[in-house]
Structure 1
């Protein structure tokens, strides 16, 4: 599977990248940014900095950001990210869904002034990009929709810090992590190629059986002249 809107630009200045710790991905964690209006490509300049050098006040880095148009990969997928605030960093690929502009936050995860109708088209496009990325990663690392969780779910499982995302946002558009996983499952099943044994039944036609090879060859020649170019002799 190829993601046509996937762009790669590693945050080589970030301490997470230079730590160069690797993981075997066992799952995917979905985040959302809680930073209205900052799109995927803008996070490079924000986070491609060193905490050790005093260039940034956070030790954080995710594998990718996405919005309604693009997916930007900022860490190798098998690189240990700093996104979960817990043990999920050792097992999960993490990506952030960027949130649209036009609202603010108050009291933690409370979205003030968020216009669902106005932002529906943005949400649907970003939602689809997130599904596409998960399908891509599932195929790459032999995962299923069951291996996908949100940050809030990770906290409930004891493997991530106490964040509400993306469950403070998805329900406003009638979605949840369950419906997200269902959409990924549907996409995975739709992309599967049926095996030869189940895709099509073949009915074979035999036009003769001969004890003398010359007679079989003569019949084969007649069949080919009649237009059956794929005819052949099988010897039992």
Structure 2
């Protein structure tokens, strides 16, 4: 009897351990999504622009025609290339140079710092085999070596994918369990469509106690959040909403952009309301208006920002220089050579008595070093 009781107690203990382990994994994954929502979206960098600034030839991928004329969903990949060299920047450079040799290409690379769009999602790429390439957009998540960087990267990835769903009028639907839907892992393509044997991003997600189901939940969260901001734009064509943008530069959700510079909010008469939106903040452009000879973008009811806080201006670096942080600290790893082109936003700002131009929400260049 005593032995039986001990045996039952032992089994119960094992059961509790298993339950605790399962619940702990669920809690960890849930907390990752909770933490992710605290971070700002990095915005999109367009490959051809990035390469132009770096003096590298843009080796344009010709594209694959979608079987139904437009994408039917999105495949979530991960690079399976761990380490410090596997940044979105370096992956983009490599694929731009080698795609003809390796016979592979994707629409975007995403890491904790940026999203680099390689090619307009209006055409397909070579990312997941013949059964998927002419149906789906392909997005590669770069491997990170810290939990914080991983969380930032999936946040960027989820927001970008949610924007793509809106752009192509696709409803979020997880295809990973039944092979039906708009959000696919590469593993799901292998399981349900064939033509490939890859199983990403499942193994990489498991490393962080995460899963495709959790990632789908994050995508759905951002899709629903963005939905309110896109309804008023649904009846406008891209060329009407973005008369000064090339096809590659049209934001991946109609009207949604990121401020490149701190911006005051003005009313329709050009009066400063003294309300401020910070660089890196997402806004929805509803149109534009000329006020006293200056262009403003409308971002809400009787709310406008100066267009230069959203539209970048190219400038040429007149001497070797370093990028600076918001506090004026030199970023020694980010040296910009004389003759390079940079894209700046808004008017000059003063940091510790010196004038700077903003390149994005966190990086600046001395105004005297560009013209």
Shorter-chain TM-score: which interval? Answer: 0.5 to 0.7
- Which string of whole-angstrom CA distances, capped at 9 and with x for unpartnered residues, describes residues 15-73 of structure 1? xx13x433211100000001113100112321223666xxx3x1000000010010000
CA distance in 2, matches of 1:160, 1:150: 14
CA distance in 1, matches of 2:213, 2:111: 21
Contact 1:155–1:162 (CA<8 Å) still a contact in 2? yes
* TM-score normalised by L of structure 2: 0.43
**Which of 65, 68, 77 is equivalent to 1:22?**
65
User: What SS does the corresponding residue of 1:7 show, helix, strand or coil?
Assistant: strand
Residue of structure 2 equivalent to 1:190: 225
- Which string of whole-angstrom CA distances, capped at 9 and with x for unpartnered residues, describes residues 89-133 of structure 1? 0110001100125xxxxxxxxxxxxxxxxx210110011011101
Extract structure 1 runs of 4+ deviating beyond 4 A. Answer: none
CA distance in 2, matches of 1:12, 1:43: 14
Residue of structure 1 equivalent to 2:119: 75
Q: Which moved more, 1:181-190 or 1:122-131?
A: 181-190
Deviation at 1:85, TM superposition (A): 1.8
CA distance in 1, matches of 2:135, 2:205: 24
Distance 1:48 1:178, change over 3 A: same
Residue of structure 2 equivalent to 1:158: 193
User: What SS does the corresponding residue of 1:72 show, helix, strand or coil?
Assistant: strand
Instruction: List alignment gaps of at least 5 residues for structure 1.
Output: 102-118, 197-236
* TM-score normalised by L of structure 1: 0.66
Structure 1 residue 144 and structure 2 residue 187: aligned?
no
Deviation at 1:192, TM superposition (A): 2.8
Contact 2:113–2:153 (CA<8 Å) still a contact in 1? yes
User: What SS does the corresponding residue of 1:169 show, helix, strand or coil?
Assistant: helix
CA distance in 2, matches of 1:29, 1:181: 12
Contact 1:152–1:164 (CA<8 Å) still a contact in 2? yes
Which structure is higher in RCO with an 8 Å CA cutoff and minimum separation 6? 1
Residue of structure 2 equivalent to 1:32: 78
User: What SS does the corresponding residue of 1:190 show, helix, strand or coil?
Assistant: helix
User: How many pairs are equivalent?
Assistant: 170
Contact 2:158–2:215 (CA<8 Å) still a contact in 1? yes
What pairs with 1:1-236 in structure 2 (closer than 5 Å)? 5-10=43-48, 12-13=58-59, 17-18=61-62, 20-23=63-66, 24-37=70-83, 38-49=86-97, 56=101, 58-101=102-145, 119-146=146-173, 147-193=182-228
Contact 1:29–1:151 (CA<8 Å) still a contact in 2? yes
